[in-house]
Amino acid sequence: MTENCPDNRPVGVFDSGLGGLTAIRSLLRILPEEDLIYFGDTARVPYGNRAPETILQYARQDVRFLRSFRLKAIVIACGTISTTSLDTLQAENPDLPFVGVVEPACRRAAAVTKRKRVGIIATRASIRSGAYESALRRIDPEITVFGEPCPLFVPLVENGRFRPGDIVIETVAREYLAPLLQNDIDALILGCTHYPLLQEVIADICGPSVELVSAGEESAYELKRLLKARRMRGDPEHAGETRFYVSDRTEDFENTASIFLREDLRHAARRVDIEQY
Ligand code: DGL
C-alpha cells in the first residue's frame, strides 16, 4: 500500500481477558482512525499459571478466530502469550505482522531507568520464560533486573478488585512489591497487560521515585511505528470502530470495559465459542 492508498483493514488485538483493554485504550488515543477487533478469552482466563504448551494451544485458537476477519496486523496484548508464543505464532502466520508487548516495554524501561535497576512484575509463565529479562539485557547489559510473579493480580482484576482503597488488592500488592522496592528499583515494567488497571494502587505503593511502564501501552506505540513503516495506516479521515468479542458472559466484560475505557459498552460485546477454532 502507498501513502495515497490507505489500508483500511482492521487490526486484531487479543488477550486472555480484560488486560488487552490497556492496549485498546492507547490505540484509541494514538490511532483513532484504525478499526480494531478485540478478543478476550474470558472463559479460559487466567493463562498465566499454565504450561507453555497450553498457552500456545489457546493462543493458536485465539489467532484462528481473529483471522476469520481480514486483518492487516495482530497485537498480542498479553504478556503471557508474548513471552511464550510470539515467535511460533509469527512463524505460523508469516503473511501477517504480529506486535507483542515485551520489546516495546523493555525499550521504554531502559530509556527511563537512571540507576539501571529495573523491576518486572508479570504472570508466573512470563517470569519463568525469562523473556523480559533477556530483552532488557540485550538492550542494555548494565541493567540489573528484578522479577516478581504476581499470580493473584489477574483473578482480582477480572473480579473488579482494582480500585484504590480496596483492602484486598492493596494488601496483595504491598506483599508483591516489597522485595522489588527493597532492591531500590527506579523503573517497574507492568509486564502483564492486566496490571495497568492497578496503576493507581501500584503507584501509591511505589511512590514517585519509581517510573511505571505499561506493556500494553507501549505495544500500541509499536503498532503505530509498524503501520507507518509498512505504509499500512488507515484513512486519517475515518473514525475507527472497535468490535469486542469474548468467550464467556459478555456482561461482566462490558461492565469493567466501560469503567476502564470510560465509555458505555453495555451490549457492545459478542460471545464466541473459541473451542470451535
Ligand atoms: N493480560 C495477561 C498478560 O499480560 C494476563 C495473563 C493471564 O491470563 O494470566 O500476561
* Residue at 5 is within a domain: no
Provide mean pLDDT across the span 215-226.
Answer: 94
Q: Which pLDDT score is estimated for 4?
A: 67
Provide mean pLDDT across the span 234-256.
Answer: 94
Write out the DSSP string of the chain: --TTS-----EEEEESSSTTHHHHHHHHHH-TTS-EEEEE-TTT---TTS-HHHHHHHHHHHHHHHTTS--SEEEE--HHHHHHHHHHHHHH-TTS-EE-SHHHHHHHHHHH-SSSEEEEEE-HHHHHHTHHHHHHHHH-TT-EEEEEE-TTHHHHHHTT--STT-HHHHHHHHHHHHHHHHTT-SEEEE-STTGGGGHHHHHHHH-TTSEEEEHHHHHHHHHHHHHHHTT-PPPTTS---EEEEESS-HHHHHHHHHHHHTS--TT-EEE--GGG-
Provide mean pLDDT across the span 109-138.
Answer: 97
CATH number of the domain at 231, please: 3.40.50.1860
Domain count, the chain: 2
Does residue 87 share a domain with residue 69?
A: yes
For 29-70, write each residue's pLDDT tens digit: 999 999 999 999 999 999 999 999 999 999 999 999 999 999
**78 an active-site residue?**
yes
Any ligand 1 atom below 6 A from CB of 50: no
Q: What is the pTM of this model?
A: 0.94
Res. 3: pLDDT tops 70: no
Does residue 184 share a domain with residue 106?
A: yes
Does residue 244 share a domain with residue 172?
A: no
**206 an active-site residue?**
no
Res. 199: pLDDT tops 50: yes
Domain end marker among 165, 182, 215: 215
Give the domain extent around 120. 102-215
* Residue at 1 is within a domain: no
Any ligand 1 atom below 6 A from CB of 189: no
Could you tell me the distance, in angstroms and rounded to a whole number, from the CA of residue 191 to the centre of ligand 1? 9
Does residue 256 share a domain with residue 224?
A: yes
